[in-house]
Structure 1
């Protein structure tokens, strides 16, 4: 059978490895601070009376609720299975396999490249500058790209992208490429959203998700925002029933006025915890904060990152090693947890340092 599979598999898939998600890398553990999830688990209920029926392709309650939340029209939005499906839909819709390319700016989210490679789409890279700002000149000097992916705030550096830089990129590619601004973490830096600019740029696309600030990573629900022609093109490619009925019901509840008020309270609490954890980490001898803290995580560099990571995992504390990323040697990323989880992390780091010194 393996010979048959080796014969049939698409040639472009042979050298690829599955994406190393946080859950795939590590299971178990006591504290999960490795996937940029929210530590909050909010209660929801579902009505099962219609589970015997196929769901709506684009559930009205979710479309209308998120359009209102994001200040766009319902024609400027498509609901997807997480922002990850939005990435894949854009690539499948606007790139021809074996011919076209996307552009990414590492270090950044890994699924842009993986989604492109699985679709036999080329990946051109223009690394971020040493201060993690966009290399605008390098981006604009790159031709033959259909999609430009910019993560803002960026994962894993936690840095925002200068608005003037994104504007320059949008204008440069106005006639040749879509510029995709991934706002998975925008609730932690809400004033810098590009959703409010969709009417001004026909080639602007914004990705959103309920996985981070909304505390619904398990739901797999995301959104792609753009002008209507982009959305209509994506609707040609998306599966007939992409959003399960339980997902639609919970997403609609999460977009109610009461739930959005709770969202703001939880974001505020996470931002306070983030500031406290950043200060505690910065005070540790040998630890240097890297990038910025515009999302729900902190990136830091430590010379013995590998040993520290192994020790934390052995103690049930899961964080994320980002050392393989471009210009992030010896860097670890920690998602913001509860006060108790953050304190346990610091206690374990201090215990490691004591053991190491001994």
Structure 2
């Protein structure tokens, strides 16, 4: 071990970093591995005040997101993606070496990485076979838990978590822990949002992002929605200037009336392509199961997932391997790209051994 490495915290030396789609790389031209919107959305910068520090919480941006979410401005915090929101909650509410966070695999990998980074214990309660919450098992592990993360729709499975289960979870955690509903994909099923429950449950927190339906993954802009009391605590630990001026500028434009209309058009297009892709995949001989999805991606179980993944990778079609996730053996996650990209994916699958379905059938 080098002297420099020896200086690092023990938990950081032992940490396995989150393997984002960009870290994993690839030389593809059909990128279906990061749940991004497949086409660029043009914006023009209107702010030319880069010589000045930005507002910590840009008023115009906060006001627009509050209006969009149906909340007051005191209930909204903007950060560098929802990932920063995940970390801020741990920093503000969890004592390292004392408190814990809890989540239910298979789910988003940053919950564990964020906890480990801050020296906070994380506990897992595996989801049931239908990827719903195991409430009895959660209840047994709540002692010392300060934050519970529930991704709904869940990444990478694509399913919504039962509202009845979420309500039971909120009831059992009153005055004990925060329940954080990660709604990164909620624009694809807006009626499922829990923002309407914030008044009833002061320990509920909702995470949002502009990375998915708003087609702004490169912007790194997310939101934490919660009671004014929770937001005030997070403001104590957030960076002095979390959003650059250009980010705040573009995000504010994206939340204009015109921007929201464009987002909804994109969502409709993605859902239509998703339904076409579901039908096409189900007719491929190498596909065992296409799981229902309320998102811009599909979880698919293949008869020979590793071979399918590598074959597509070699052809420049990059998917996300989920084989190592709890209960997801043989599964790959496929982002919904353009119709052309989806057709190229199906055409490539047709050439693999045992896949003989025609494009006309698909």
TM-score bracket for the superposition, by shorter chain length: over 0.9
What TM-score comes out, normalization by structure 1 length?
A: 0.97
Match of 2:122 in 1: 123
Match of 2:331 in 1: 331
1:290, distance to aligned residue in structure 2 (A): 4.8
Query: How many residues end up aligned between the 2 structures?
Result: 355
Contact 2:12 2:117 (C-alpha < 8 Å) held by counterparts: yes
Question: Please, which runs of 5 or more residues in structure 2 have no aligned partner?
Answer: 357-362
Contact 1:126 1:138 (C-alpha < 8 Å) held by counterparts: yes
Match of 1:14 in 2: 13
CA RMSD, 1 decimal? 1.3
The answer to whether the aligner puts 1:207 opposite 2:207 as a matched pair is: yes
Contact 1:289 1:298 (C-alpha < 8 Å) held by counterparts: no
1:260, distance to aligned residue in structure 2 (A): 0.5
1:355, distance to aligned residue in structure 2 (A): 8.8
**Counterparts of residues 38-57 of structure 1 (less than 5 Å):** 38-57=37-56
Contact 2:184 2:212 (C-alpha < 8 Å) held by counterparts: yes
Contact 1:157 1:290 (C-alpha < 8 Å) held by counterparts: no
Return the alpha-carbon distance in structure 2 between the equivalents of residues 353 and 340 of structure 1: 23
Question: Please, which runs of 5 or more residues in structure 1 have no aligned partner?
Answer: none
**Counterparts of residues 1-358 of structure 1 (less than 5 Å):** 3-142=2-141, 143-353=143-353
Change (3 A) 1:355 1:182: closer
1:3, distance to aligned residue in structure 2 (A): 2.2
Return the alpha-carbon distance in structure 1 between the equivalents of residues 291 and 124 of structure 2: 20
Query: What is the SS of the residue equivalent to 1:334?
Result: strand
1:353, distance to aligned residue in structure 2 (A): 2.8
Query: What is the SS of the residue equivalent to 1:309?
Result: helix
Query: What is the SS of the residue equivalent to 1:288?
Result: strand
Query: What is the SS of the residue equivalent to 1:308?
Result: helix
1:354, distance to aligned residue in structure 2 (A): 5.8
Contact 1:26 1:318 (C-alpha < 8 Å) held by counterparts: no
Contact 2:126 2:134 (C-alpha < 8 Å) held by counterparts: yes
Q: Deviations over 1:153-200 (max 9, x none)?
A: 000000101111000001100110000000000011111000111111
Query: What is the SS of the residue equivalent to 1:306?
Result: helix
Change (3 A) 1:189 1:355: closer
Query: What is the SS of the residue equivalent to 2:215?
Result: coil
Match of 2:359 in 1: none
Return the alpha-carbon distance in structure 2 between the equivalents of residues 285 and 106 of structure 1: 29
Return the alpha-carbon distance in structure 1 between the equivalents of residues 289 and 233 of structure 2: 42
1:48, distance to aligned residue in structure 2 (A): 5.0
What TM-score comes out, normalization by structure 2 length?
A: 0.96
Greater mean alpha carbon deviation, residues 83-92 or residues 139-148: 139-148
Contact 1:131 1:291 (C-alpha < 8 Å) held by counterparts: no
Contact 2:289 2:302 (C-alpha < 8 Å) held by counterparts: no
Greater mean alpha carbon deviation, residues 54-63 or residues 346-355: 346-355
1:6, distance to aligned residue in structure 2 (A): 2.2
Return the alpha-carbon distance in structure 1 between the equivalents of residues 187 and 167 of structure 2: 21
Contact 2:284 2:355 (C-alpha < 8 Å) held by counterparts: no
Contact 2:74 2:231 (C-alpha < 8 Å) held by counterparts: yes
Q: Deviations over 1:111-161 (max 9, x none)?
A: 000000111000111010011111111112222100000000000000101
Return the alpha-carbon distance in structure 2 between the equivalents of residues 351 and 60 of structure 1: 54
Moved over 6 A (4+): none
Return the alpha-carbon distance in structure 2 between the equivalents of residues 354 and 326 of structure 1: 28
